[in-house]
Amino acid sequence: MSSTQFDGDIDSFVSYLKSNRGLSANTLKAYRADLTACLHLFELRGVTDLNEITLDDLRSWMAVESRDHARSSMARKTVAVRGFFAWAYEHGLTTTDPAATLMTPSIPSTLPAVLTESQAEQLLDVAEHAVATNQYKDDGGAAAASGSGKAAGKTADKSADTVNRSEAPARADKRDNARVTAESQRNAAILELLYATGIRVAELVSMDIADIDFSNRTIKVTGKGNKQRVVPFGLPAQRALETWLEQGRPVLARTATDAVKSRAANALFLGARGGRIDQRIARDIVHRAAREAGVPDISPHALRHSAATHMLDGGADLREVQEMLGHSSLKTTQRYTHVSIEQLKNRYGQAFPRA
């Protein structure tokens, strides 16, 4: 990221947002990048004082940025720039607010992509089957290791070194099978939890073991702006989580170095090296599971959309879904009612003879 002579002002603005607006770390990072890019452009044009920037300059900046960015990204950039100049004016850094009338690009209203209920069930069934299949392989690997040990014991003329060499591949296979089984248990738990609760992928990877209350079958979720909410989950998710915590997690935890292990000691989900799982891996798990299940390719966020839509289809109240998803505005949640209506129209068209 390019630095500018206005970095001090940007830092002060971001600190203000962090203290007074409670924005998430990701949002603050995006705003900082947006402002740095904007002011760097003006700096290249010879601007040395914020007071030199006019509304026409800001419109020119928007024209340049819109060539390479979607409208949704431009809307966020505009909000960041408008907020910065409003703050600068209120704090005496500028004599006017050039961004006061800067218009936010309109974003076309698109319905979120969702799975049907049968597709969601197929996705979760395939993940559950993978756990059962890998556990079978793991048991077979253990039997093979045991069998090779017995055979070695019966061969009296072989040296101890030869026996150790023959057992080493079996032990390695057993470890690999155990790791693969553990990862399939983790993947199944992730998919079940995402669908059961509709949580965001960032919320998923930041969860700790202590955030789960098995007695009430709820999880404590820390969402945008560090706002916390309690979300219920069902029996399938409980079983998947219990299997992961009791069987899979200890296997992956053993692969971690001491430093990684201490940082991830409380993490609910672990990566292959025993550290806290990151968003990229979680997204890849969902995409790969969709391919293996033969359902439309989806992201974790689409699984969130699916959970919300299926809840509404099942008769859940809009306010309840809003609370579960952590939406600050009911308008955001209302998008899913449109999806439900679209699915109803599609089913009507397929099933009704005079449609």
Q: Detail the DSSP E strand segments found in 77-226.
A: 212-213, 218-222
Residue 135 to residue 141: CA distance in whole angstroms: 10
Instruction: Give yes or no: 16 in active site.
Output: no
The distance of Cα 264 from the centroid of its chain, to the nearest Å, equals: 18
Catalytic residue among 18, 217, 301, 335: 301
- Written as one string, the DSSP assignment of 32-50 is HHHHHHHHHHHHHTT--SG
Point out the catalytic residue in the list 77, 174, 200, 276: 200
Tell me which of 137, 175, 224, 239 is the catalytic residue. 224
45 among known catalytic residues: no
Active site residue 224: yes
- 67: exposed, middle or buried (C-beta count within 10 Å: 0-12, 13-18, 19+)? exposed
Is 150 a catalytic site residue? no
Closest CA to 85 of 99, 106, 64, 65: 99
Residue entry with tokens 């309840």? 320
The CA-based dihedral angle spanning residues 260, 266, 269, 272, taken in that order and rounded to the nearest 10 degrees: 20
Contact, 57 vs 40, CB < 8 A? Answer: no
Enter the tokens of residue 56. Answer: 């026409």
Please tell me which residue in 249, 304, 305, 310 is annotated as part of the active site.
304
* Cβ neighbours of 312 (radius 10 Å): 21
Cα–Cα distance measured from residue 267 to residue 180, given in angstroms and rounded to the nearest whole number: 19
Catalytic annotation present for 354: no
Beta-bridge partners for 149: none
301 included as an active-site residue: yes
DSSP run (H or E) holding 188: helix 160-197
Contact residues for 281 (Cβ-Cβ < 8 A; gap 6+): 271
List, by residue number, the catalytic residues: 200, 224, 301, 304, 327, 336
